[in-house]
Amino acid sequence: MFKELKEINSMNCDVMHHFKTGNKPMEKEKMEKYWSRFPDTYDKNQEYVVGKELLDKMIKELNDLSNLGDVIEFGCGTGYFTETLAKKANQIIATDLSDELLQSAKIRLNKNPRITIQKENCMETSFISKKFDSVFMANLIHVVEYPLKALQESHRILKDGGVLIIVTYTNYGMKWFEIIKLGIRFLKGWGKPPQHVHTFSPEKLASLMENAGFTVEKSKLIGDRTKALYLIGKKK
């Protein structure tokens, strides 16, 4: 516990922001390795760190979506949100960088004929332009090295008028002691944080989406003790 508190202390006040350890570029392989460490306990860790209550609220929002057509999901991890999304999609291609997490997603989702699992880097995918009706990403944009690049790639592969749905953790609007508690749970659950963690406010994320060519149609802060942003944009 002493070691963890020392780490928290070194994070200064804004825990999530200070999870950043520098501006050195993180290669794709390092990122892949980071998220591949806990394929079997990923979901439990996630529920422990951010709280099941917040995850349920995120899922509830997604359940309210109307038909999304052909969907691509970036950073699907173990597929925690994929099944919910699949109910709203004609087809969904769930993608991630991590082979280990994709394997867990396959086991979880392989019975659903509407879901295909595929390895892709969200910043540079193999898809042709204007292929999808919707892009979905959960808890990804705040951990990628270049968030704008991921949004621009989303824009490229979306049809005109296509929809971008983002739900992602933030410490924006959290009480300072909840941020500290979240930091401690993070260290216990995941160990050292990833190299690139961005703290987005609703305005900051909306402005990034606008820069990538989207009109933001919905922006909402979800959660009580822990928080997530929920933004929907339409390709201009």
31 binds ligand SAM (CB under 6 A): yes
186 binds ligand SAM (CB under 6 A): no
Q: What is the DSSP string of the chain?
A: -HHHHHHHHHT-S-HHHHT---SPPPPHHHHHHHHTS-TTTHHHHHHHHH-HHHHHHHHHHHHT----EEEEEES-TTTTTHHHHHTTEEEEEEEES-HHHHHHHHHHHTT-TTEEEEE-BTTB-SPPTT-EEEEEEES-TTTSS-HHHHHHHHHHHEEEEEEEEEEEEE-TT--HHHHHHHHHHHHHHHSSPPS------HHHHHHHHHHTTEEEEEEEEE-SSSEEEEEEEEE-
Please report how close the Cβ of residue 78 comes to ligand SAM at its closest, in angstroms. 6
Q: Which is nearer to ligand SAM, 76 or 163 (CB)?
A: 76
> How many residues line the site for ligand SAM (CB under 6 A)?
21
153 binds ligand SAM (CB under 6 A): no
Query: Using an 8 Å Cβ cutoff, are 183 and 15 in contact?
Result: yes
Half-sphere exposure in the Cβ direction for 42 (13 Å, CA): 20
Q: Which is nearer to ligand SAM, 68 or 101 (CB)?
A: 101
- Rule CB under 6 A: choose which of 97, 157, 165, 166 binds ligand SAM: 97
96 binds ligand SAM (CB under 6 A): yes
Q: Using CB under 6 A, which of the segments 2-10, 118-126, 182-190, 207-215 binds ligand SAM?
A: 118-126
- Rule CB under 6 A: choose which of 84, 121, 170, 171 binds ligand SAM: 121
89 binds ligand SAM (CB under 6 A): no
123 binds ligand SAM (CB under 6 A): yes
- Rule CB under 6 A: choose which of 8, 15, 35, 232 binds ligand SAM: 35
Q: Which is nearer to ligand SAM, 190 or 214 (CB)?
A: 190
Positions in the binding site for ligand SAM (CB under 6 A): 31, 35, 46, 74-77, 80-81, 96-98, 101, 121-123, 138-140, 143-144
